[in-house]
Amino acid sequence: MTLWHQGYSLRWALILRVLLPLLVAMSLVTVAGLRTMESAIETRMKEDVELVARAIRLPISDSLERGEQGNVRQALESVFRIGRVYGAYVYDDAGDLVAAVGAVNPTPESRELADRAADGERSGDYEQIQGQEVYSYFEPLTDSSGRISGLLQVTRRESDFRDDIERLRLQAVAFMGAAGGVITLLVLWGHRGAIGRHLAGLTRSMARIEAGERDHRAVAEGPKEVRSMSTAFNTMLNSMEAAEQEIARRRSEQARLEDELRHAEKLAAIGRLAAGVAHELGTPLSVIDGKAQRALRQADSESRQHRALEQIRSEVARMEHIVRQLLEFARSASRQLRWTRVGDLTGAALSSLEDVLHDHGASVQVRGEMPGPEIYVDPVRIEQVLVNLLRNALQAGATQLGVDWSEDNGWITVCVDDNGPGVAEDIRPRLFEPFFTTKTVGKGTGLGLAVVHGIVTEHGGGIAIEQSPDGGARFRVKLPRQAPNSEGSDDDQEHGEAGGTSSPG
Ligand code: ADP
């Protein structure tokens, strides 16, 4: 039941589909051979009887013609002595028994015998004599003139044939049994050696993998077919593993892209809000500043009113700075791309920060080779990036700044280093978010790095923060030499403008 329920094993398939038909065919051949041999034996035995009868036919005919009963009997006895004969009988032409040796007279009907004799034909039959199955052979006897003078009957026990045949059958069955057993053993042994154990190995491997040993692989051994099965199995596992890895890679890539998209959407929404707010605040602020300026002219320079008005103007200036930053952050893709040298961009950024650098007593080391590689960017925006990064470093308390650049395979990397306190690991992921600041209220807007990030990604690049060898923070900006989707061309005229970058106001 279980066998059929689970499907039968290869060994059973072999037994049922190869061994069994083989043994059946062998049996059929043996049976057919046995039949042929049996009939050959029977024929030979019958011929024996006929030969014996024919051998004594003439002397008996003679003796019968001459009426020498004694000689008839003698001839019969001589035959009987040869053996193999069960009984021998002589009848006259009327069917009456003249002489008999061996088994007691079979007493066939005289009439029947007379008819047989009259026929003058030889004939043989099976019959029963004293409860024994016998083969009787009748040979007609003729006198010298050729007239039928009687009948000679020689019998032989059928069991003589049957015993021989029985023995032969027993031998054949024993031989078949032994041969069948040996063949079965040989086939099963051969199956195990040639296929069985290799398939068992493969099955064990599959079970191990199913149990969780994902790295396990089947050993390719045994006949070619099993080996190629193992190899195919291993290849399948390898490609499954590769596919799983690919799926995992794509999943994380998708998650990363979704994150980026969410971030970009967030930035765009904040940008729109910032632009709206900045736009609305711009006019009232300049009105306030204008009015304060006019009032200031009329106020006494030593008075409290004058100081208050100056305070108003400085706060308005700060608010205008914030509004500018907001506008900067919200500024969309109205880019003015040009071929520009990185050294010129750095120079422009440094000259716009000259006063601030002086106030902080800080020095800047330009480490990149001048005038630096050419890059197709919006110079004002990229300068803004450098200015923001350098200013942040100064605000963090750095006194030594460094700007370095390098070109590699169509990408230009600019590093801004400082010897300030650096950026703690835990806030790094949030650093480029708009409005993220560690500064006290009124000191920072949290927009500087968001603007930097926006400009860099707008140019098809990226920005990363790491530990600087100078001890503080290092901001690594990576930009394509020419962004793939920038409409700019390499023509000479456009190229020529590269050097003419002006410093921002
Ligand atoms: P803000 O300067 O207005 O705070 P930013 O976006 O420019 O906004 O900077 C965000 C935060 O990043 C800062 O508050 C500061 O904590 C940190 N940061 C930026 N640059 C540096 C630097 N060079 N060294 C240390 N911290 C820095």
pLDDT single digits (tens) 92-146: 888 888 888 876 655 566 667 777 777 777 888 888 777 778 888 988 888 888 8
Phi, psi (deg, nearest 5) at residue 355: -65, -45
In this prediction, residue 461 has a pLDDT band, given cuts at 50, 70 and 90, of very high
In the chain, count of helices (H) and strands (E)? 14, 12
Percent share of the chain, pLDDT over 90: 38
**Do 343 and 289 reside in the same domain of the chain?**
no
Residue that wins the pLDDT comparison between 67 and 83:
67
- pLDDT in the model for residue 277: 83
CATH of the domain at 116: 3.30.450.20
* 296's tokens: 């200031």
Task: State the Cα–Cα distance between residues 318 and 323, nearest whole angstrom.
Answer: 9
Are 122 and 243 members of one domain? Answer: no
Do the domain assignments include residue 17? Answer: no
Q: What is the pLDDT of residues 375-408, one digit of tens each?
A: 999 998 899 999 999 999 999 999 999 999 999 9
Domain's final residue, options 331, 352, 379:
331
Expressed in angstroms and rounded, the spacing between residue 74 Cα and the centre of ligand 1 is: 146
Q: Whose CA is nearest to atom 8 of ligand 1?
A: 446
Token pair recorded at residue 20: 């069994």
125 versus 431: which is more confidently predicted? 431
Q: Does 267 reside within a domain?
A: yes
What's the whole-number mean pLDDT along residues 167-189?
Answer: 91
- Averaged over 477-499, what is the pLDDT? 58
Percent of the chain topping pLDDT 70: 92
CA atoms within 13 A on the CB side of 505: 1
Ligand 1 pocket test: pick from 392, 415, 439, 474 the residue with the most ligand atoms within 8 Å of its Cβ.
Answer: 392
**In this predicted model, which residue has the larger pLDDT, 66 or 103?**
66
pLDDT per residue as tens digits for the range 276-323:
888 888 889 999 999 999 998 888 888 889 999 999 999 898 888 888
Q: Determine, yes or no, domain membership for 174.
A: no
Residues 342 and 299 in one domain: no
> 10 Å Cβ neighbour count for 404?
17
Question: Is 420 found in the same domain as 368?
Answer: yes
Domain CATH code at residue 324: 1.10.287
473 HSE (CA, 13 A, CB side)? 25
Q: Is position 338 within any domain? A: yes
**What pLDDT band is residue 422 in, cutting at 50, 70 and 90?**
very high
* Domain termination site, one of 125, 147, 167: 167
Which pLDDT score is estimated for 48? 86
Output the CA 437–ligand 1 centroid distance in Å: 6
pLDDT score of 501: 30
- The one-character DSSP state at 497 is G
- Let me know if residue 461 belongs to a domain: yes
Residue 3, pLDDT above cutoff 50: no
Using the mean position of ligand 1's atoms as its centre, give its distance from the Cα of residue 456 in Å: 17
The last residue of a domain, from among 127, 147, 167: 167
User: Which atom number of ligand 1 is nearest to the Cα of residue 445?
Assistant: 3
Sign of CA dihedral 45, 49, 52, 55: negative
Q: What is the mean pLDDT of residues 194-210?
A: 90
Examine residue 217 and state whether it is found in any structural domain, yes or no: no
**Residue the block writes with tokens 């791309």:** 337
Stretch among 72-81, 146-155, 176-185, 352-361 having the lowest mean pLDDT: 72-81
> Which pLDDT score is estimated for 497?
32
**Per-position DSSP letters for 361-424, written without gaps between them:** T-EEEE-SPSS--EEEE-HHHHHHHHHHHHHHHHHTT-SEEEEEEEEETTEEEEEEEE-S----
Asked whether the predicted pLDDT for residue 490 surpasses 70, the reply is: no
- Residue 345's domain is classified under what CATH number? 3.30.565.10
Residues 347 and 304 in one domain: no
- Ligand 1 pocket test, pick from 386, 395, 425 with the greatest ligand atom count within 8 Å of Cβ, gives 395
How many structural domains is the chain composed of? 3
What mean pLDDT, rounded, does the chain reach?
A: 85
> 56 with 88, same domain?
yes
User: Ligand 1 mean position to 438 CA, how many Å?
Assistant: 7
Beta partners for residue 140, in sequence order: 151
Whether residue 377 sits in one domain with residue 341: yes
DSSP state of 195: I
In a domain, residue 35? The reply is: no
Residue nearest to atom 22 of ligand 1 (CA): 393
Residue 395 alpha carbon to ligand 1 centre in Å: 8
Do 305 and 373 belong together in one domain? no
Boundaries of domain holding 353: 334-498
The pLDDT value given to residue 243: 95
Amino acid at 177: G
Local confidence band at 485 (pLDDT 50, 70, 90 cut-offs): low
Query: How much distance in Å is there from the Cα of 113 to the middle of ligand 1?
Result: 142
Ligand 1 pocket by Cβ (under 6 Å):
392-393, 396, 418, 420-421, 423, 431, 436-439, 444-450, 472-473
Same domain assignment for residues 245 and 290: yes
| 385 and 482 belong to one structural domain | yes
Q: Which ligand 1 atom sits closest to the C-alpha of 444?
A: 3
Both 298 and 413 in a single domain?
no
Inform me whether the pLDDT recorded for 412 exceeds 90. Answer: yes
Q: Whose CA is nearest to atom 26 of ligand 1?
A: 423
Which residue's C-alpha comes closest to atom 7 of ligand 1? 448
In a domain, 211, yes or no: no
Tell me, yes or no, whether 147 and 274 share the same domain. Answer: no
- State the DSSP H helix or E strand holding residue 454, giving kind and residue range, or none if neither: helix 448-458
State yes or no: pLDDT of 489 exceeds 60: no
State the closest ligand 1 atom to the C-alpha of 443, by its place in the atom list counted from 1: 3
